[in-house]
Amino acid sequence: MVRIEDGWHKALMQQWEQPYFLRLTEFVRARYRQTPVFPPPARIFAAFDACPFEQVKVVILGQDPYHGPGQANGLCFSVADGVAMPPSLVNIFKEIVDDIGGTMPASGNLEYLARQGVLLLNATLTVDAHQPASHRGIGWEQFTDAAIEALQARSGIVYMLWGSSAGAKSSLIDSSRNLVLKAPHPSPLSAYRGFLGCRHFSKANQYLCSIGKTPVEWLP
C-alpha cells in the first residue's frame, strides 16, 4: 500500500490498483535498484504528506525533481537546508522579494510553505540522476492529473502554473471557482520572458484574502 497522508490516500484511492499505477510502481522500484534515482524513496510523496489534502489553498506545479545529488527533497523547487539553491529557486525568491518585499532567505527549504497549505507538486515524482525528464511518460503525469482532479471537488484554490508542462494542466482546473495564474518557467532559460515580474505571490494573497482565507507568508 502506498504510504501517503490520509486525506490524499482517500482522495486518490482509485489510483492504487489501476494498471498504469502498478506498472509505474514496478518501473520506479526497478530504477531505484539499478541506478541512483531522486528523491530518496521515502520522499517520493513528500509533497502530499507535507500539505494534507484538506489544507490545500495554493498549488505550485513543477516539472520533475532536481536530478543532482542531494537536491530533490520531494517538494517541487525545494532543497534541503544546507543545499545550494538551484537557479530556478533563486529566481522564485527574487520574484517574491520584488513582489512583496523582504530579503533573500539563506535556505531553499520550502517546507514552511507546505505547512501553510501550499502544495508543491511536480508533474513527475522521480528522476534518474543527471537525466532530466527521464521518468516522464511512464505514468506519473496520470497520477498527478488525478491529484489535481481530486482538488476540483473544492473551490477557492490558487494554481500557479509555471512553464508549458505545468500550463498543460490548466484544462483540469475549473477556473470559474479557482484562481489560475500562468507564467513562463523560473529557470534562467525562460525567467526573463515573463516569470520575473509576474507578481503571482501578491495576486495569490489578494485572492485568498478576498475569499476570507489567510494569506501565505511567502518568505520564512
Identify the CA nearest to 173 among candidates 134, 213, 136, 119: 119
Residue type at 210 in one-letter notation: S
Identify the CA nearest to 61 among candidates 104, 11, 125, 130: 125
Phi then psi for 209, rounded to 5 degrees? -65, -35
- Annotation marks residue 98 as catalytic: no
Active-site position among 6, 64, 98, 145: 64
- Per the DSSP assignment, residues forming a β-bridge with 127 are 38
Cell of 66: 532536481
Residue indicated by cell numbers 489553498: 57
List, by residue number, the catalytic residues: 64
